[in-house]
Structure 1
Amino acid sequence: MAVHQADAQYSPEARDLIWTIPNAISLLRIISIPIFAVLVARREMAVALIVLAFSAFSDSLDGTLARKFNQVSKIGQVLDPVADRLLIFCSVVALGIAGVIPWWVLIVVGLRDLVMAIEVLVLAQHGYGPLPVHFVGKAGTAILMMSIPAFIIAELWAGRFTQGLHLICVAGMIWGVLLYWMAGLIYLKQGHDLLRADGVAAGDAVADGTAGERTA
């Protein structure tokens, strides 16, 4: 009976909650990302891997707690993708500084995130929130996220296996970047379609108003 009551009280709708345990965990995750990046840049890979493990665990924990205790919040839905973007960007910067990956990866990833940030701001000015995540974007993000610990592991232990792992990581990161940008183009088209529909609707409203004035 208690289980049924708990289920009845649970709501998947995001609420205007701020001071919750899941949000605190998400904030700690965001704080840990620059620490992780500094460790990677200084080539302290073992400690960096531990910090990254904490970040990955907290990423799963905050969502689980939010659903379990009915604390799904709007700010939590924002913090999670922000943390993912920040982790990818900071990791690419740190790996570039450490000489693990080429700098062009940073430029390509950073440019994509900049374009997406501009689109979010433009859509917000027209009353739209963030666009729903596309599965291509999820795939690209997942590949990039898996490449990060793999690069670190490849740097920790030298040998034939890790050399092969490094090559696989490079190939995976290239594929992830391609999907990352493909998703970005999809989001740009979606945003363009929304704004275009707004423009058409506004034009129709003006035309209807003008026609009404003439009739009167």
Structure 2
Amino acid sequence: MSEHIHKSTYSPDARDVIFTIPNALSLLRIITIPVVAWLISRHSMIPALIVFAFSAITDFLDGTLARKLNQVSKLGQILDPCADRLLILCTILALGVAGIIPWWMVIVVAARDVVMGIEILWLAQYGYGPLPVHFVGKAATALLMFSVVALVVADIGTGMPAHVLHLFALAVGIWGTVLYCLAGFIYLCQGSGVIRKELRSWRESRR
């Protein structure tokens, strides 16, 4: 799988610029993440949904504006996936603190992201950008995002409908966690193949 990863995984029109409108929106989205997590942990679910909706809007706008304004940047292509991972990690942690999901889900998601973070930093030492997004990773992110929103909504409601929604959202979250780990394994295989290749090249150059 490693043969599909190149020194530059950015799109051809990505520019090496920092100060752009899409990058500002991505940074703003990252800033809202601890706010959402704090609100969820305090069971302030309606404000959390409002801030979460604002974050989702900025997520849509940064990609759209980057293409329309020709402001696709290398920094933006790093900030966007980082924001998604931070949002998942922080909201899952907040749901664990609030007692809405089991702690094993928090630990699994956090461990996966720590491993991925180490791999990304290791790859960066050899000049590689972020790994290409796999469809399993996209599916996992979508399921986890849906689960978070549904769990927050279920916590607002009362009675049997809220209980059923909670159980459904928790099931979706568990499936999302499984796919999240599967995607992590795929990325780990891709990255380790590249790292082994670079290490072989380094050893050969030392001979």
**Counterpart in 2 of 1:124?**
124
2:145 partner amino acid: M
- Identical pairs, percent: 59
1:47 matched to 2:47? The reply is yes
Matches of residues 126-165 of structure 1 in structure 2 within 5 Å?
Answer: 126-165=126-165
Matches of residues 75-114 of structure 1 in structure 2 within 5 Å?
Answer: 75-114=75-114
Measured in 1, the distance between the counterparts of 2:121 and 2:61 equals 30
**Counterpart in 2 of 1:23?**
23
Measured in 1, the distance between the counterparts of 2:125 and 2:75 equals 19
1:170 matched to 2:170? The reply is yes
**Counterpart in 2 of 1:5?**
none
**Counterpart in 2 of 1:197?**
197
Measured against aligned partners, the alpha-carbon deviations of 1:31-56 in whole angstroms (never above 9, x if no partner) come to 11111111111111001000000011
**Counterpart in 1 of 2:35?**
35
**Unpaired stretches in structure 1, ≥5 consecutive residues:** 1-10, 208-216
Measured in 2, the distance between the counterparts of 1:119 and 1:201 equals 19
Measured in 1, the distance between the counterparts of 2:16 and 2:128 equals 18
Measured against aligned partners, the alpha-carbon deviations of 1:135-188 in whole angstroms (never above 9, x if no partner) come to 111111111011111001101111222211111111111111111111111111
1:74 partner amino acid: K
Measured against aligned partners, the alpha-carbon deviations of 1:87-119 in whole angstroms (never above 9, x if no partner) come to 011101111111111111111000000000111
Equivalent residue of 1:46, what SS?
A: helix
**Counterpart in 1 of 2:69?**
69
Structure label with greater radius of gyration: 1
Contact 1:26–1:79 (Cα < 8 Å) also in 2: yes
Number of residue equivalences = 197
| TM-score after normalising by structure 1 | 0.86
Equivalent residue of 1:100, what SS?
A: coil
**Counterpart in 1 of 2:7?**
none
1:193 partner amino acid: G
1:174 partner amino acid: I
| TM-score after normalising by structure 2 | 0.90
1:57 matched to 2:57? The reply is yes
Measured in 2, the distance between the counterparts of 1:86 and 1:193 equals 26
Deviation at 1:205, TM superposition (A): 5.5
2:62 partner amino acid: D
Give the root-mean-square deviation of aligned CA atoms: 1.6
